[in-house]
Structure 1
Amino acid sequence: MALFEELRDKIKGKDIRIVFPEGSEPRILGAVTRLKAEQLVKPILIGNVAEVSNVAKGLGYNLEGVDIIDPETYDAFDELVDAFVERRKGKATREQALKAVRDATYFATMLVYTNKADGLVSGAVHSTGDTVRPALQLIKTKPGVSRTSGAFIMLRNEGREKYLFSDCAININPNAQELAEIAVESAKTAKMFGIKPDVALLSFSTKGSAKSDEVTKVAEATKIAKELAPEFNFDGELQFDAAFVPSVGKQKAPGSTVAGKAKVFVFPEIQSGNIGYKIAQRFGGFEAIGPILQGLNRPISDLSRGCNEEDVYKLTIVTANQALEN
């Protein structure tokens, strides 16, 4: 069974509540209409009710049974403001909280934080920073995770080929400890989505073939990752060909339990990660699903502003599966 058939089956009829801060965006509305019709999630749209309804009507979308919430008229708005002030623990006055919670993304994030929604999908219009900032301030990272990271599920041949690339979206240049945490969270994400968690920490060097601070960082991160999560299979530092091609892995890293068969690829910094997934997408014909934000207490997903309706649909299914796992 293809990956997304499996993911759809897991969440169908479960009424998982996913909130969309960009409620009047046509790509969001198209995906939400489809998700609701297929009983995959219980969507919550944020925005002016008349505006959202009019845009949907103009596009021929039926929003019957879809909740639309306007922060300006929400009955429990003061409750959210109080919860915001408490969560920020002296970092925001009530006046600042009132202003913040009126923002659609902060408002939607507070719905997740207060268990009025199970997950959030945004980013079709807003920047990554606009999506991630409220999540870090309010949802926060899991114990033992110092920062969130962004992973992509990479699919080809109708999902028969599937890999995980990380971190391609958030951390500019993580240190060894942070890179190790990213590797561990990536292994967990891969396992959740049926990708074997054989994790390669990538470099331009394989097992000391080059010497530099960059290589040392990846080797140290591999050691830390193994200590943090011995139940997973990590190896590094590995060049991509050594990680991916069996014959090269055997030659360059004999005895490695990952070389030549990796399914999860952890890039040493964001430049190589971002470039790598886009090369695979554009040259290799892979579909890139994500970024999936890892390491948060609740699932928050960040769309690309260049996304289409299908991207919204699929990332919502991924987010709902994360919520189900939680």
Structure 2
Amino acid sequence: MAFIDSIKEKAKADKKTIVLPEAEDERTLRAAAKILEEDLANLILLGDKEKVKDDAKKLALNIDQATIINPKTSDKLDIYVTTLTELRKAKGMSEELARKTLSEDNTTFGVMMVKLDEADGLVSGACHSTANTLRPALQILKTAANAKLVSAFFVMSTVNKDLGENGTFIFADCGLNQDPTAEQLASIGADSAKSFEYLVGGEAKVAFLSHSTKGSAKHALVDKVREAAEIAARDYSDLKSDGELQLDAAIIPEVAALKATNSTVAGHANVLVFPNLDAGNIGYKLVQRLGNAEAYGPMLQGIAKPVNDLSRGCSWEDIVGVVALTAVQAQQK
């Protein structure tokens, strides 16, 4: 079974309610129709109700089973205004500003729905930046109690079924932390391993990536990755991890046999932790665009409730996949 098909089966087994704030985007409407057709999740679409219905009709899409809410006219707006004002009063949030924000920013309204348990998760970003999705999530939901930081990962489903976990990997951090410290890299590795095990299945094997393998190069960037691997081994003793490793040494057994002979991870890694956002973002897009891999994300981990971003270059099929993944994340909560 393909990776995304297994995720869809998990989503169907315990249906969750997911908010899509960008209901006036055609890709979102196409995705919504498919999600409802496959019975993957209950959906709340945010936008002008008549426009959303009219757009769906013009595209010959059936979204009848979705709940459509216009934040500007919602009967919950007053409650949300009171809650947001209270949550953010220390940061200068007034009732007037809260009402304006919730009325005009669908993502903030949707995150408030998740906060108040009126939805289980949110997916946004098809036509908004990562900051637009992440800011209200961090302000309203905040970091999970057991997390050191929020980070982003992609699930990469590749055609190379003999690598990773039947061709599937987690790449992190590819969407959020620009230049993580060694301690942050170690935490990203540990969180990504947990995400791998409940989303993909199988034992996570974490490689901290570098342009060096086991001291083959000398540089401060190499030192950071090596230190991250040492912290992971010390602080997350149940984590199977190693570093620093070059990409080929991390995933190709024949290369690992030459470059990292005593490693239990090298050659078999399925969770790849990149040294910074440049490497992670470039890496996932190379694999997606040149290697014809399916890329799902950026998914967020370390946040109190599931909120996930989309690449603005996403397809409607990508949105379907991320909604299914978000539903499975919600099951874990």
Specify which of 175, 193, 208 is matched with residue 169 of structure 1.
175
Specify which of 200, 213, 219 is matched with residue 212 of structure 1.
219
Q: Structure 2 counterpart of 1:172, which letter?
A: Q
What residue in structure 1 maps to residue 90 of structure 2?
90
Q: Structure 1 counterpart of 2:274, which letter?
A: F
CA distance in 1, matches of 2:86, 2:236: 33
**1:235 counterpart SS class:** strand
Note if 1:180 corresponds to 2:186: yes
Note if 1:106 corresponds to 2:108: yes
Specify which of 232, 235, 240 is matched with residue 233 of structure 1.
240
What residue in structure 1 maps to residue 50 of structure 2?
50
Q: Structure 2 counterpart of 1:267, which letter?
A: F
CA distance in 1, matches of 2:285, 2:49: 37
Q: For 1:155-214, what per-residue CA distance to the aligned partner results, in whole angstroms no more than 9, with x for missing partners?
A: 123974111111111111111111111111111111112253100000111112222211
**1:90 counterpart SS class:** helix
Normalised by the size of structure 2, how large is the TM-score?
0.94
What residue in structure 2 maps to residue 191 of structure 1?
197
The alpha-carbon distance between structure 1 residues 158 and 83, as it changes in their structure 2 partners (threshold 3 A), is farther
Q: Is the 8 A contact 2:71 2:106 kept in 1?
A: yes
CA distance in 2, matches of 1:65, 1:146: 39
Post-superposition shift, 1:117?
0.6
Note if 1:137 corresponds to 2:144: no
Specify which of 243, 258, 261 is matched with residue 268 of structure 2.
261
Post-superposition shift, 1:239?
0.9
Note if 1:250 corresponds to 2:250: no
Q: Is the 8 A contact 2:11 2:325 kept in 1?
A: no
**2:169 counterpart SS class:** strand
Post-superposition shift, 1:145?
2.8
Q: For 1:81-111, what per-residue CA distance to the aligned partner results, in whole angstroms no more than 9, with x for missing partners?
A: 1211222251122222112212111001111
Q: Is the 8 A contact 2:251 2:269 kept in 1?
A: yes
Q: Structure 2 counterpart of 1:27, which letter?
A: R
Post-superposition shift, 1:58?
0.9
What residue in structure 1 maps to residue 80 of structure 2?
80
Post-superposition shift, 1:295?
1.1
**1:68 counterpart SS class:** strand
May I ask how many residue pairs the two structures share in their alignment?
A: 326
The farther-off stretch of 272-281 and 84-93 is: 84-93
**1:147 counterpart SS class:** coil
Q: Structure 2 counterpart of 1:304, which letter?
A: S
Note if 1:32 corresponds to 2:32: yes
Q: Is the 8 A contact 1:244 1:261 kept in 2?
A: yes
Deviation above 4 Å: which 4+ runs of structure 1?
A: none
**1:181 counterpart SS class:** helix
CA distance in 2, matches of 1:287, 1:64: 29
Q: Is the 8 A contact 1:24 1:56 kept in 2?
A: no
Q: Any stretches of 5+ residues in structure 2 without a counterpart?
A: none
CA distance in 1, matches of 2:9, 2:3: 10
Q: Is the 8 A contact 1:2 1:158 kept in 2?
A: no
What residue in structure 2 maps to residue 318 of structure 1?
325
What residue in structure 2 maps to residue 3 of structure 1?
3
Identity %: 44
Post-superposition shift, 1:319?
0.7
CA distance in 1, matches of 2:158, 2:181: 32
CA distance in 1, matches of 2:282, 2:307: 23
CA distance in 2, matches of 1:59, 1:9: 27
